[in-house]
Chains A and B, each alone.
Chain A
Amino acid sequence: MRILRNISFGQYIPRDSLIHNLDPRIKILSCLAIIVSLFLITKYSGYLILGSFVLFSIIISKVHPKFVFRGLRPILFIIIFTLIIHIFMTEGKVIYQLGFLKITQEGLVKGLLISFRLFILILATSLLTLATSPISLTDGIERLLAIFKFIGVPAHEIAMMMTIALRFIPTLLEETEKIMKAQISRGADFESGNIFNRAKNLIPILIPLFVNAFRRADELAIAMEAKCYRGGEGRTHYRELKIKKADILTFAFTIIVTVMASIMF
């Protein structure tokens, strides 16, 4: 039960800050720019610039760094793993030898660069989800995808599916917890036994969860129909996205920083 409660995945933290008030499209595109440049950078100095840029954004977003860094936890293992692989597996100038394991200078450099890359990637994307409400995030994605409508991308449907999924993740987690507690009270045990038994023990959670989820989906569909939902055609928006001066300036600044980081240094 502890596990469920600690998922801070995509949790929006409302604040009044420059980052929060940016147009979601700008935030998504800036994030993409950072990700692209991460894969173009070859030197430390580039990472330094990009890393400082992301840290600077975290600070002005007024979101406590604790929450941003929490996003790193699940992939810490992957980062450490790649670091170790690189350090020991790269051929080159040996700087330390321990039995058959040797650490090479090239390996160390490469490992650190890759770790930085993952590190900054996660920080940037968790800041995006922490500082953008799910609604405006999907709004932004819908508008951006609309560009590709001419090749048949169903932008509205994708955005609607994302909105509904995001909306129901917390509900499902809550419900899972409730059902788990109820079954524990009835004598179920989720903490002991071998893998096979544990998987079998999940049945009392999964069946009620699915039954409820299907029922809820049914109800939602009826409710949407009752409200005359008929897809994206001719639909207007309650919140109109407008690009403001601050958006243009921020985006320009992001582009300058990312281009500088990936090309000049």
Chain B
Amino acid sequence: MFIHIENICFTYSLGMPFETEVLKDINLEIDKGEFIGLIGHTGCGKTTLIQHFNGLLNPTSGKIYVEGVDLNKKGVNLKLIRQKIGLVFQYPENQLFEETIYQEVAFGPKKLGLSEEKIEKRVREALKMVDLDYNLYVERSPFSLSGGEMRRVALASILSIRPKMLILDEPTANLDPQGRDNILSEIKKIHYNFGMTVILVSHNMEKVAETVKRLLVMHRGEIIMDGTPQEIFEKHANDLMKVGLGLPQVTECMHKLKAKGKEVYTGVLTVDDAEKEVLKKMKKPLKR
């Protein structure tokens, strides 16, 4: 087990007039190699929750273990934890500050005290993981890039630390459809090619659902559903609607078919799957 969370609660501005309880009794287990989507309505506490995973926030009560290490015990080396868990913030392009992309990506490894050669190796490796050509980009200023490219550089600057787990907060926010698909496919590649454990935070159901293998649904500071996307869309469609999260369009379509009396499987995520399912249930298969 990689991360183990026991009954954590969290309140912002504890003891101030504006205190708000954001996380309520969260329990969670995450294994190595999982590919998880964390979705929920805006303001439900997703960002707050993931900041607990690498010790940026301390729970008001409850325990968090990373590889068996209790994060709130005195003397825990949080730096080591933060090397293991790479957290990519929302709009990571707003954190770039170096003169060149090379320096930007090398920032993490440098802080680890690695030698020049090792740093260069890691920069090459990280830029390759996000599909940026080393020779074309290293000398450029990060501020001269497009939004999507900046975001990849920011992602690379986390990957160069070689984390065992990657958490991405809304990696596709504010990108055009193509930029969004590119980032998602890179994340997929990183998961499948390097076996990276990934948590993808989003409120866009559509794309996340067909990308991840396990889905966590948050609502008002609680995890209300946990399962494969298929399971959740099949069994909990109504509850999802109730908490203000729509279904992917194809899934909704299948639910409507079912409501009309067609016995179709409603846990489909993509148009292709839906097509197969519908064809299967048609009395006379269509000729193509």
Contacts and interface: CB of A to CB of B under 8 A. Distances in A.
A200 interface: no
B107 interface: yes
Contacts of A187: 79, 82-83, 107-109, 111-112, 161
Given A181-B89, A184-B56, A188-B111, A67 B17 contact: yes
A1 B56 CA distance: 9
A206 B122 CA distance: 26
Nearest to A178: B89
A13 B97 contact: no
A208 B55 CA distance: 23
A178 B111 CA distance: 20
Interface string B79-109: 1001100111100101111000000000111
A231 B261 CA distance: 66
A21 interface: no
Interface residues on A, range: 20 to 34
A243 B276 CA distance: 75
A179 interface: yes
B251 interface: no
A194 interface: no
Contact of A203 (B92, B97, B108, B157): B97
Contact of A182 (B13, B95, B112): B95
B230 interface: no
Nearest to B107: A186
Contacts of A211: 94, 97, 143
B79 A189 contact: yes
A207 B104 CA distance: 13
In order of increasing CB-CB distance, the 4 nearest A-B pairs are A207-B97, A187-B111, A187-B108, A185-B87
Interface of A: 1, 5, 8, 13, 64, 67, 178-179, 181-189, 203-204, 207-208, 211-212
Given A186-B158, A188-B107, 18 more contacts: A181-B51, A182-B95, A183-B95, A184-B82, A185-B54, A185-B88, A185-B158, A187-B79, A187-B82, A187-B83, A188-B111, A189-B79, A189-B111, A203-B97, A204-B95, A204-B97, A208-B96, A211-B143
28 contacts: A5-B13, A67-B17, A178-B89, A179-B94, A179-B95, A181-B56, A182-B92, A182-B95, A184-B82, A185-B87, A185-B89, A185-B158, A186-B107, A186-B108, A186-B157, A187-B107, A187-B108, A187-B109, A187-B111, A187-B112, A188-B107, A189-B79, A189-B111, A204-B95, A207-B97, A208-B95, A211-B94, A211-B97
